């Protein structure tokens, strides 16, 4: 894909996912937890970034945070800051996981997604206490995690299948 078109396409995808999340998917909440398509797209994109591609990661984090800030009842910029923090934590984690490996196993994705999703919820709760807006963090975060991890897994396999040559999947295929 042309690098000049990649970021504008990602921004349009975030916009479409924002409309879906705010309009259509609001009716599909389970135990008060909704699918966070913006966070899922954000995490799938940063998980598959080339190592040390900080500029693109910064742009993706900023765009995702911008659209999350439009949806959430918080001060503008909190989600941008939290997603940038999550991007750098995830990048540091993948640096240690990638040593000696060129693959992106699903186990790493699922565990990092879970940790980052819970971290995002916890940081939003802490910032709600600091800046006095409505957000809660409780045991139902696990329901939200499972619900979002299901859709994030689908996104992981779709991305991996569609970008197989770019990811360097050089396994020997016998048949």
Q: What is the CATH number of the domain that holds 120?
A: 1.10.1760
Quote the pLDDT of residue 77.
83
Do the Cβ atoms of 29 and 147 come closer than 8 Å? no
Paired strand residues for 30: 33
For residue 170, being part of any structural domain is answered with no
Which of 105, 99, 8, 86 lies closest to 48, judged by CA? Answer: 105
Quote the pLDDT of residue 11.
92
Quote the pLDDT of residue 152.
92
For residue 121, being part of any structural domain is answered with yes
Instruction: Quote the number of domains for the chain.
Output: 1
For residue 172, being part of any structural domain is answered with no
Residue pLDDT, tens place only, 128-155:
777 666 666 677 788 888 889 999 999 9
Q: What is the pTM of this model?
A: 0.81
**Block means of pLDDT (10 residues each) for the chain, length 175 residues?**
80 92 81 85 89 86 92 81 91 72 74 89 80 68 87 91 66 45
For residue 9, being part of any structural domain is answered with yes
Task: Please give the residue range of the domain that contains residue 23.
Answer: 3-162
For residue 12, being part of any structural domain is answered with yes
For residue 85, being part of any structural domain is answered with yes
Which of 172, 161, 141, 152 lies closest to 108, judged by CA? Answer: 152
- d(C-alpha 64, C-alpha 84), whole Å: 10
For residue 8, being part of any structural domain is answered with yes
């Amino acid at each position: 894909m042309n690098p000049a078109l990649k970021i504008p396409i990602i921004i349009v995808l975030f916009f479409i996912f924002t409309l879906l999340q705010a309009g259509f998917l609001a009716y599909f909440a389970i135990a008060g937890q909704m699918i966070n398509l913006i966070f899922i797209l954000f995490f799938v994109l940063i998980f598959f970034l080339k190592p040390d591609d900080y500029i693109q990661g910064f742009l993706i984090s900023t765009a995702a945070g911008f659209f999350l800030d439009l949806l959430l009842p918080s001060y503008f910029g909190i989600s941008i800051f939290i997603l940038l923090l999550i991007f750098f934590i995830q990048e540091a984690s993948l640096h240690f996981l990638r040593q000696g490996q060129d693959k992106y196993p699903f186990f790493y994705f699922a565990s990092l997604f879970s940790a980052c999703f819970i971290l995002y919820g916890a940081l939003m709760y802490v910032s709600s206490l600091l800046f006095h807006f409505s957000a809660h963090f409780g045991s139902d975060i696990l329901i939200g995690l499972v619900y979002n991890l299901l859709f994030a897994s689908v996104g992981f396999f779709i991305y991996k299948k569609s970008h197989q040559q770019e990811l360097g999947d050089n396994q020997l295929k016998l048949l």
